[in-house]
Amino acid sequence: MLELINIHKNYNIGPTCIEVLKGVSLTIERGDFLAIMGESGSGKTSLMNIIGMLDKPTGGDYLLNQKNINQLNDNEISRIRNREIGFVFQSFHLLPRLSALDNVGLPLLYRGMREKDIYQQAKTMLSKVAMQDWAQHAPSELSGGQQQRIAIARALVGYPTLLLADEPTGALDKKVSQEIMDLFTQLNQEGITIVLITHDPDIAAQCKNQLELHRGQIIQRPPRYLLPRWHYSSILTRAPLALQSK
């Protein structure tokens, strides 16, 4: 679905140039649920911005469905981004003056869809994230976990093929984080490809694949390293593969 080849990203601050991504290569297949881990400052958000086409790499190639993004103009890039990619952020980024329903429908409004269709599709998405009873509430009337559900519904309302989430549980407590992870897991089982940035090993362990960034480079570790003990035992009862590798 998506391939990054030797991606570099530099930022120029005045006369100094900092190298933030130093040759990152990765492949994302349809149906993946990938965790990108790494300490603060390791380049996770920079990498996500490139995957999400919010930013261009300084060097390297980005292939989406076998098409090289470098060869597209800005209009084509933003059209692909708006159609194919949904974003979820740590701090929700909901518009405070709009109801939950209007927040969810906003991306469709930008697409010029008819109001009736917008509301229908937005309502469907609110139900998907179990927030249908909160449609008319403002974000300030909702808990953090509920706001993140609204943000996830907004990310999904245009039926993107890829969902990018940058520390989506970073502002939530453990119990609510788990509820959000259960929702992501369900969405992934329904077929949406998810890339999730986190520095929480318990969260990463629930994704299908994990990779770790360290100072702008990918370091690969065996998945088992990431599995906390409680999760390991639950996997052993479910997954024949994990048994075989034991």
Residue 43 identity:
G
Total chain residues near ligand ADP (CB under 6 A) = 11
Binding pattern to ligand ADP, positions 34-73, x when CB under 6 A? ----x-xxxxxxx---------------------------
Choose from ligand ADP, Mg ion, none: what does 121 bind? Cβ within 5-8 Å by kind. none
The 8 Å CB, 24+ separation contacts for 109-118 are: 110/82, 111/82, 111/158
Provide the minimum distance between the beta carbon of 45 and Mg ion in the complex, in angstroms, as a whole number. 3
**From the CB of 47, what's the least distance to ligand ADP, in Å?**
7
Structure tokens at 197: 């940035």
Any contact of residue 13 with ligand ADP (CB under 6 A)? yes
Let me know: does 98 contact 133? Beta carbons within 8 Å: no
In angstroms, what is the minimal distance from the CB of 7 to ligand ADP?
A: 12
Among Mg ion, ligand ADP, none, what does residue 20 contact (CB within 5–8 Å per kind)?
Answer: ligand ADP
Which residue from 21, 32, 33, 45 is in contact with Mg ion, where contact means CB under 5 A? 45
Q: Rule CB under 6 A: which residues touch ligand ADP?
A: 11, 13, 20, 38, 40-46
